[in-house]
Amino acid sequence: MQVKIFEDHPELSATVAREIQELVQAKPNTILCMASGETPRLTCQLLVQMIRSGKTDISQLHFIGLDEWVGIEPGNSGSCHYFFQHELITPLGLREDQVHLFDGMSTDLQAECKKMDETIDRLGGIDLIVAGIGMNGHIGFNEPGISPDLYSHVAQLDETTLTVGQKYFDSPTRLQEGITLGLKHLLNARKAILIANGKKKAEVIRSAVRETVSNHLPATIMQTHSNGFIMVDKEAASLL
Ligand code: F6R
């Protein structure tokens, strides 16, 4: 794993967006997986601009959503679905068959997990995963204590995730579970980039980079990824 430090969030986001665009140019049938949330929003916006202005062929691209809140409608602006739809799917004009998102409203969440795992297998595996990091060190909804051997699964959300997660919603929202790709997907991805910005992420980034790999802080698993990168701005790197 390598750590890369950038001046600020815009520089970090532009670098990641450019990297995604270059990957898609080199491999038009790229399988891209991304997290939603505050950290990757600018990356998504810059990627849309770059793809449009570079006239990059995205007709064979497949997009996989990293996770979703269970029980939250896709039309709810706090859902991951809403984020992906508004930041990537609609602006890029991705077809339905190119997009693979968890249905957090499904009455059979195990079947959703199985479908996602089978889709990833059928497509030949994830080329690039761009993930964020939670204040508790989660990646996706791989919460502290999670087994690194899991593929897609339903997660009981940790207290920190339940509290911090309210920031995405217009009004107080009952959250309990998430559905997420597992750490095994992260490790199997041909490349994994974890991004973080801002002072508030400095402590958890320090732990992810410096502490012994342990499922108590799921993001430490990045240390074991042979093509893994932690890309942060100066503020998030301030305790390294
Ligand atoms: C969301 C996701 C989460 C976030 C993490 C950081 O799809 O996978 O793990 O990446 O909670 O969220 P932000 O970027 O909002 O600080």
User: Catalytic: 81?
Assistant: no
Query: Out of 81, 87, 136, 185, which one is annotated catalytic?
Result: 136
What is the average pLDDT score of the chain?
A: 98
Domains identified in the chain and CATH numbers? 2-233 (3.40.50.1360)
Helices (H), the chain: 9-26, 38-53, 80-84, 90-92, 109-123, 159-164, 183-188, 202-210
Ligand 1, residue 34: give the atom nearest the CA: 7
Q: What are the backbone angles phi and psi of residue 29, rounded to the nearest 5°?
A: -95, 40
Nearest residue (by CA) to ligand 1, atom 12, is 37
Find the 70 Cα to ligand 1 centroid distance in Å: 15
pLDDT at 126: 98
Nearest residue (by CA) to ligand 1, atom 2, is 140
pLDDT at 105: 98
Statement: the pTM of the whole predicted model exceeds 0.95 = yes
Encode pLDDT of 179-219 as tens digits.
999 999 999 999 999 999 999 999 999 999 999 999 999 99
User: Catalytic: 138?
Assistant: yes
Let me know: does 189 contact 140? Beta carbons within 8 Å.
Answer: no
Q: Measured between alpha carbons, how far is 50 from 21 in angstroms, rounded to an integer? A: 7
Confidence of residue 16 (pLDDT cuts 50, 70, 90): very high
Q: Measured between alpha carbons, how far is 102 from 122 in angstroms, rounded to an integer? A: 16
